[in-house]
Amino acid sequence: MKLGPFIHSGFTTKKLMFITTLAMIPMIAASIWENGFDAIILFITSISSVFLMEFICKRRVVFEYNALVTGVLLALLLPANAPWWISVFGAIIAVGLGKYLYGGFGQNIFNPAVLSRVLLTVLFPAIFIMPKWTLDGVSGATLLSKEIGTTMPFFSSLFLSSSPGSLSQAMPLAVLLGGLILLIYKLIDWRVPLFYLATISLLSLLLPGSDKILGHATYLLGNPLLHIVAGGSLLTSFFLLTDPVSSPISSNGRVVFSIIAGVFTMIIRYYTPFPDGAAFGVLLANALVPLIDNYMLKLKVSSP
């Protein structure tokens, strides 16, 4: 089989991961600003644990930006008041199961940080599925929680104010800024955030609510902006679904992939006990990538 010639984009994997790290700085800064020392501890333990796992798996000391990205994403997906040791378990899952079980970087089926978040949620539900988080001594329910005591915030504060939940939710505007950096450098396909967020918006208007939503948090129904800004929707659309390893290779495939992730996200939000279905949506969509790629390839071959 003849290989090449190829058109190179000019971006090496190292440069791509370096710019991705820079794009996450606004989220890191916002997380520390809102959550203080707790956020610093989670970032330090997550990143150091990921590098330790890389050393154990490779048996040599190597600094790689992809490991740094995984460590930062792992911390951003953790609750703001999570104990430090949960990030150690997260690193073991992300690197050991999510990455090297499949042969290492570039061969993983699932996004390592997302796989870690989902398994940690299942293993330690008391940490992740909580009706209330405590921030600055004030107890408040996460915006997507389907529990008594949840209240609809003012729209003017949605993009700037911290809402109880993961570190990435400290300031949605910071996530948008990071996503804009990725789009400016053309590191991600603009179709992914567009179709993912559009799917979430449409389903928030069309899906009927579960009994728990109707009884406790009716404001979750018919509220596209809330579902985009609250939870992990923005982080998912710009940083998780756009992972080049665990997403489809074709542009049309990525559109289908994004829509599927959006559907899964909203079904889990509306009809399960989990307050946010973004991570589950990514993981389930990752599992379907081989089928999506295969189907798109057949369409291309059969088209005149």
Sorted by where each begins, the domain ranges of the chain are: 13-302
| Single-letter amino acid, residue 164 | P
d(CA 131, CA 153) in angstroms, rounded, equals 16
pTM for this model (two decimals)? 0.87
pLDDT of residue 288: 95
pLDDT of residue 134: 44
pLDDT of residue 103: 78
Q: Which residue has the tokens 């939000």?
A: 269
d(CA 22, CA 74) in angstroms, rounded, equals 16
13-302, CATH topology level: Ammonium transporter fold (1.10.3430)
Cβ pair 271, 231 in contact under 8 A:
no
Neighbours of 14 (CB within 10 A): 11
Q: In the structure, how many helices (H) and strands (E) does the chain have?
A: 15, 2
Cα–chain-centroid distance for residue 266?
14
Q: Which two tokens stand for residue 220?
A: 């979750």
Ramachandran category for residue 106: left, alpha or beta (phi over 0 → left; psi -120 to 50 → alpha): left
Of 134, 144, 127, the C-alpha closest to 87 is 127
pLDDT by residue for the chain (304 residues), tens only, comes to 344 444 445 567 788 888 999 999 999 999 999 889 999 999 999 999 999 999 998 877 677 888 999 999 999 999 888 999 999 999 999 998 988 887 777 788 999 999 999 999 999 988 887 544 443 433 344 667 665 555 666 565 666 665 567 899 888 899 999 999 999 999 999 999 999 999 999 999 998 877 767 666 777 788 898 889 888 899 999 999 999 889 999 999 999 999 999 999 999 988 888 888 899 999 999 999 999 999 888 777 665 5
